[in-house]
């Protein structure tokens, strides 16, 4: 079955199925979290955080198996790529092709948060057609926040509130000043001063540039309104779609970390391109994100101002970010 054969009605049916799947999977995550909590249900557990990792890994695997099975039963001809099944394989090749409708699923994003029971964790489900995510469902059960989008049908919070929350809000004229900047420290923790360093040093350089007062850092100071780190790429994208974050800049994610978020952000009117600045960052064309690139820069949905279209203002911010960030080093075969 070629993607082009999927009718609009059928896409709507798949969307409904995906939303219910997200709700059911999120409930599984929350049920497992509740089992670990003491108190109201009378369960008292003595739990070391080390042991928690095993419990979390089992939940992760169980939820992916549930989602995989549900999709295979309903849509046996669709392809499925999940974090757990992928990680178990040897290849790190990019697997989303253009020739099949492909589900791209992270059963649990924000794994560290989930381990520590910080509420910023979620399930993330996307459907890609022609290699592009067109349906996105993100459900964060501890926050009771469900983000959904389907191409042509808009993006929603909890099935009623349209995203972004504030429509047609222009981007601040002196951006990144006035913007909320979302970023993550990640897992690469090599000492920037040792050997060839690593991505942490590049990130710190970039974060500090974005934060420091205007005029500081040899003109790279961006004086953002706030710097936020939640520990979930998926939720970073969802909050960018909401308009809560103006800018999200990150490297190292895999496609299941971002596919649903990209679908929701695009449908809400946001822009996603690459994290790494091209040589001529002031004039270079701004490419659409490549899902498997592991390098992402997202700008929130915007409204026009008296002097710019929405897209022009988003592209202005992309260049202002590129001016201030250091290229990250994340490899990816086959993307």
**What CA–CA distance (Å, rounded) separates 232 from 113?**
8
Binding flag, residue 245, its own copies (CB under 8 A): yes
Stretch that binds its own copies, among 66-74, 79-87, 229-237, 258-266 (CB under 8 A): 229-237
Query: What tokens were used for 279?
Result: 């040589």
Contact 263, 133 (CB under 8 A): yes
The residue among 3 and 164 lying less far from its own copies, judged by its C-beta, is 164
Alpha carbon distance, N-terminus to C-terminus of the chain: 23
Sign of CA dihedral 296, 300, 303, 308: negative
- Judged by CB under 8 A, the residue of 119, 319, 327, 332 near its own copies is 119
Give the position of tokens 């004086």. Answer: 223
**HEC letters along 261-290:** HHHHHHHHCCEEECCCCCCCCCCCCCCCCC
Of 208, 228, 229, 231, the residue nearest 220 (C-alpha)? 208
**What CA–CA distance (Å, rounded) separates 98 from 16?**
23
Binding flag, residue 314, its own copies (CB under 8 A): no
The least distance separating its own copies from the CB of residue 67, rounded to whole angstroms, comes to 25
| Binding pattern for the stretch 38-77 against its own copies, x by CB under 8 A and - elsewhere | xxx---xxxxxxx---------------------------
Stretch that binds its own copies, among 92-100, 101-109, 170-178, 324-332 (CB under 8 A): 170-178
**What CA–CA distance (Å, rounded) separates 211 from 225?**
8
Stretch that binds its own copies, among 2-10, 64-72, 90-98, 204-212 (CB under 8 A): 204-212
Q: In terms of C-beta density within 10 A (0-12 exposed, 13-18 middle, 19 or more buried), how is residue 139 classed?
A: buried
The least distance separating its own copies from the CB of residue 41, rounded to whole angstroms, comes to 10
The least distance separating its own copies from the CB of residue 95, rounded to whole angstroms, comes to 28
The residue among 81 and 155 lying less far from its own copies, judged by its C-beta, is 155
The least distance separating its own copies from the CB of residue 190, rounded to whole angstroms, comes to 6
Is there a binding annotation on residue 31?
no
Give the position of tokens 């059928």. Answer: 10
Binding flag, residue 117, its own copies (CB under 8 A): yes
Q: 3-class SS at 129?
A: strand
Binding flag, residue 323, its own copies (CB under 8 A): no
* Positions in the binding site for its own copies (CB under 8 A): 36-40, 44-50, 112-113, 115-119, 143-145, 160-162, 165-170, 172, 178, 180, 185, 189-194, 200, 204, 208, 211-213, 215-217, 221, 223, 225-231, 239, 242-246, 303
List residues forming the annotated binding site.
83, 106, 108-109, 257
List residues forming the annotated binding site for Mg(2+).
83, 106, 108-109, 257
């Amino acid at each position: 079955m070629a993607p082009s054969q999927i009718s609009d009605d059928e896409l709507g049916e798949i969307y409904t199925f995906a939303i219910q799947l997200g709700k059911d999977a999120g409930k599984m995550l929350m049920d497992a979290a509740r089992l670990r909590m003491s108190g109201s249900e009378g369960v008292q557990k003595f739990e070391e955080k080390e042991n928690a990792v095993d419990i979390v890994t089992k939940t992760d695997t169980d939820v992916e198996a549930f989602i995989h099975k549900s999709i295979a039963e309903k849509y046996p001809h669709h392809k499925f790529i999940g974090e757990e099944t992928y990680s178990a394989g040897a290849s790190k090749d990019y697997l989303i092709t253009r020739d099949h409708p492909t589900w791209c699923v992270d059963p649990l994003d924000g794994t560290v948060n989930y381990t520590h029971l910080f509420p910023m964790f979620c399930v993330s489900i996307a459907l890609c057609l022609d290699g592009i995510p067109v349906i996105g469902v993100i459900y964060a059960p501890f926050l009771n926040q469900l983000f959904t989008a389907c191409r042509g049908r808009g993006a929603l919070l909890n099935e009623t509130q349209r995203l972004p929350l504030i429509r047609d809000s222009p981007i601040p004229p002196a951006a990144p000043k006035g913007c909320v900047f979302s970023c993550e420290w990640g897992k690469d923790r090599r000492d920037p001063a040792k050997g060839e360093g690593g991505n942490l040093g590049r990130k710190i350089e970039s974060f500090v540039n974005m934060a420091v007062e205007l005029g500081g850092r040899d003109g790279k100071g961006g004086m953002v309104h706030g710097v936020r780190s939640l520990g979930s790429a998926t939720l970073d994208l969802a909050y960018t779609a909401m308009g809560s974050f103006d800018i999200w800049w990150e490297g190292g994610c895999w496609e299941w970390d971002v596919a649903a978020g990209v679908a929701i952000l695009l449908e809400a009117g946001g822009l996603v391109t690459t994290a790494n600045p091209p040589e001529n960052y002031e004039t270079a064309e701004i490419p659409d994100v490549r899902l498997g690139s592991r390098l992402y820069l997202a700008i929130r949905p915007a409204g026009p101002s008296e002097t710019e279209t929405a897209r022009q203002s988003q592209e202005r911010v992309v260049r202002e970010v590129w001016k201030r960030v250091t290229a990250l080093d994340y490899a990816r075969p086959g993307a």
